[in-house]
Structure 1
């Protein structure tokens, strides 16, 4: 299973698959479908989960649905997009707030659909997708793009998980407005949406004081 979604959602699906989906593995993640489909790698993919609330082109969705079963997630009412997505070739549309059992059932449905498909574009039903080294290189580049000050701010946010922004700003001797500006830049570089997503990204990539944020950027 391959997940195309923001880091926080990818992290949640990784936990779900590891704890509740026996025999199913998460083969990789990406932030956009174009990113996922652009890299020709070696990792096998049986089915794909895509957050439709993110920006994806219709052509990318069609391309993905032609290569393997695609399940969409949305924060909106599924009926608003379900018919249109079914016409593209998507096999299921669920809400991000649906129960874990509903998500697991849909994942299993997608894997079963993959088993019934004929051989794909590369002589196997498992279509190539971005390799783990490629994803790791991309994440390293994102982290290394942070300035020294941005790294300090990330560590401050991670060490003050429950503190309001104005408290963190006060501890850093900057205004809350300046903190928000820095965080906006950090979110853009790391591809996250908010502090919650930043914490999930940090947990996934072990961004503590001993792993990657204390050194100088390249």
Structure 2
């Protein structure tokens, strides 16, 4: 099954040209010190990192599997700290290295349950006690076009329902929100909201954002 690194070619070519749009709610981070150590896992070209830096956060780091997206980020914001993930999902940081982790539109790029769980285990290791994880991702869409895609891919490849391939070659996953909550059952969920986003291919889609604290 597709793991974190196996779509690197897509993100280094077609995906490197995309615009990412999941919004960050400043109010959800209002109580966090601006000196907090923030990690944006799957940062792309650093859009959210730049927003946080502009809001006064002084210790923001971003990591991504795509060297091309990382290079794009460095060109846009040379003042920010970008690193390529060499062996996803593991990073070379020690335990409790961060106070906040952002996971924006990353799980949609990881079709299988096992790899998703491995990522959450690594992020939990990286978070300090009482650390915060802020998740934004896409949920199952009710329209006929998406339902046909989900069913066809599940029948052909035996994937979880919600996995599909885009016309330009990415393998993505839309989630049952119960599945997303279950991934973070080792955390205390403190906030949840539904939002509408524009996907990287220009479609309006429903997403969910979760804010959770490490127990």
Give me the TM-score of the superposition, normalised by structure 1.
0.36
Bigger fraction of residues in strand: 2
Larger radius of gyration: 1
Give me the TM-score of the superposition, normalised by structure 2.
0.36
Bigger fraction of residues in helix: 1
